[in-house]
Amino acid sequence: MALSLLVTGSAYSQQQNFNTLEAAKNGWYAEQNRSASWYLAQHKKLSTAINALQPQRPGVVDAYVLSIGLDSDAVFARESAEAAKILSRRYGAAGRTVHLTAGGDDKATGAPQGSPANLATALAAIANKMDTKEDVLVLFATSHGDPVSGLAYRDGQNAAGMIAPQRLANLLDGVGFKRRMVLLSACYSGIFIPLLTNDQTIIVTAASSQRPSFGCAPGNDWTFFGDALMNHALRKPQKFDAAVAEAFGLITQWEGTLELKPSRPQVFVGENARIWLELLENKMPMTASAKVGRPAISSD
């Protein structure tokens, strides 16, 4: 489901030249009606998550996982939380994983808010802990998506924003990530591929740049992409290429069953990315973990 971002309210109606695309390229977002306690709680939660990160080990290719749900619809919180566990287990990233999710409260414990600002801060903190030439960032993001503006940030009536491909590319490049795996569960997420690809990058998207993806109803436990890639394929002790092929096959099957227009998920593997991917895959557990939640196709 695509999200059309409408900027409303007296503060914005006065800004006649507001351009959402240009704003998205700069990582535009807005918060409103937040209490001082909410901001303090978010500061504490993010600080706790960052301080818990273990340093990298010289001579070892360590994975650092960042999983973020950028929309407060509950499906994205559930999907991002379980994806963090799956990716951490698969790539030996215990103690090197951060989970962010929109819909955060004013309690001092729990996952920090999945916001553009916290995403940027977490990326910088991870880069500071790792050797950016040796280690690998594994980024999973799930939200609604737009064919022009990219990933949507929304927390009910309290927050809105967009992260365009240019903004995400600037964040990743700006802190020096060389080796990176980017997994994007959102409609039209294929628009990120041209600006994120290089010979050290792996990117998998839920859809092409011109197609929506499915399964993002708030009551779901998974989107189609999250269920297929995370809950099925990456839980198993199989190579990455086989996992992606399995996930794409499942998505095609589910869309065909429901007579949906194909989402056409995309994958790109940089020429030199296979070097670090093989080293990470060697850490993969030899047993599959159990699937959780209701199948995405059962409730769409």
For residue 203, the model assigns a pLDDT of: 98
End-to-end CA distance of the chain: 11
Distance in angstroms (rounded) separating the CA atoms of residues 217 and 67: 19
For residue 17, the model assigns a pLDDT of: 61
Confidence check: pLDDT of 277 > 60: yes
For residue 11, the model assigns a pLDDT of: 41
Burial class of 58 by CB neighbour count within 10 A (0 to 12, 13 to 18, 19+): exposed
Paired with 268 in beta bridges are 203
pTM of the predicted protein model: 0.93
> Tell me: the pLDDT tens digits for 162-204?
999 999 999 999 999 999 999 999 999 999 999 999 999 999 9
> Tell me: the pLDDT tens digits for 229-250?
999 999 999 999 999 999 999 9
- Domains in the chain (CATH in brackets) are 19-298 (3.40.50.1460)
| Of the candidate ranges 3-17, 63-77, 123-137, 166-180, the one whose mean pLDDT is the lowest | 3-17
> Tell me: the pLDDT tens digits for 62-97?
999 999 999 999 999 999 999 999 999 999 999 999
- The structure tokens listed for 260 are 């949906």
Percent above pLDDT 90 for the chain = 88
Confidence check: pLDDT of 4 > 70: no
Residue 134: partners with Cβ closer than 8 Å, 6 or more residues away: 56, 58, 60, 61, 62, 179
Percent above pLDDT 70 for the chain = 93
Distance in angstroms (rounded) separating the CA atoms of residues 235 and 233: 6
| Of the candidate ranges 3-17, 175-189, 254-268, the one whose mean pLDDT is the lowest | 3-17
